[in-house]
Amino acid sequence: MELKDQAIIVTGGASGIGREACLALARMGAAIVVADFNAEGAAKVAEAVKALGVAAHSFKVDGSVASRGNFNYNAAKAAVIAMTRSGALELAEHGIRVVGIAPGYIDTPILGTDKGVKEQLAAQHMHRELIAPEKVASVAAYLFTDAAEAINGSTVPVDDGFLAFKE
Ligand SMILES: NC(=O)c1ccc[n+]([C@@H]2O[C@H](COP(=O)([O-])OP(=O)(O)OC[C@H]3O[C@@H](n4cnc5c(N)ncnc54)[C@H](O)[C@@H]3O)[C@@H](O)[C@H]2O)c1
């Protein structure tokens, strides 16, 4: 599966899932724009992408909204799911697909450093382990390809069964 002749903007590309998405998409041949709040981190990822022989640029973006606790976070994530459906409907006639990814607990800096908390989160997956960010990036990379062209308007869980069970 190749993404040659494509240029892809990865927001939040300096760290975690975004960083791994930059690298996975670059390995498939896409030129990458690493967009992040953290300009220094974005530049480092752009260098790593260039080392793979692919064009890369980095720039600073700031998409901040007011946030205090999970109320806003949950509302924002629900909005993204609804925007994915609506965006797909609006853009289908232009040949554009819109697909979301709903990750489980991914082992990135966003989870903090508390070992006990991380173990509790990991226990909510079927394999009882946090998910590596590369596992989300590989699904994202697949969704960009023609092989995934029948996936549209949906949000794909990459959660090691998080939504499938409760104990
Ligand atoms: N890690 C998880 O368990 C998990 C689970 C579900 C959803 N998510 C979501 O996935 C996305 C990526 O998370 P991650 O785990 O890779 O986190 P991360 O902290 O490793 O990376 C997030 C990146 O986004 C950048 N960023 C943050 N706010 C920004 C802003 N306002 N403008 C521009 N860039 C900004 C940061 O500088 C950082 O480089 C987030 O939206 C997060 O909510 C993560």
* Model pLDDT for residues 6-62, shown as the tens digit of each residue: 999 999 999 999 999 999 999 999 999 999 999 999 999 999 999 999 998 887 765
Going by pLDDT thresholds of 50, 70 and 90, the confidence category of residue 166 is confident
Distance 108 CA to ligand 1 centre (A): 9
Please tell me the class of the 7-159 domain. alpha beta
What residue's CA is closest to ligand 1, atom 36? Answer: 12
> How many Å lie between the centroid of ligand 1 and the Cα of residue 65?
13
Helix H or strand E encompassing 158:
strand 155-158
CB contact at 8 A, 120 and 4: no
pTM higher than 0.75, yes or no? yes
pLDDT grade, residue 64 (50/70/90)? Answer: very low
How far is ligand 1, taken at its centre, from the CA of residue 106, in Å?
10
**Catalytic position from the list 9, 55, 60, 73:** 73
Phi, psi of 27 (to 5 degrees): -65, -25
Per-residue pLDDT, 66: 44
Q: Is 73 a catalytic residue?
A: yes
pLDDT, tens digit, 9 for 90 and up, residues 74-100:
888 889 999 999 999 999 999 999 999
Domain ranges across the chain: 7-159
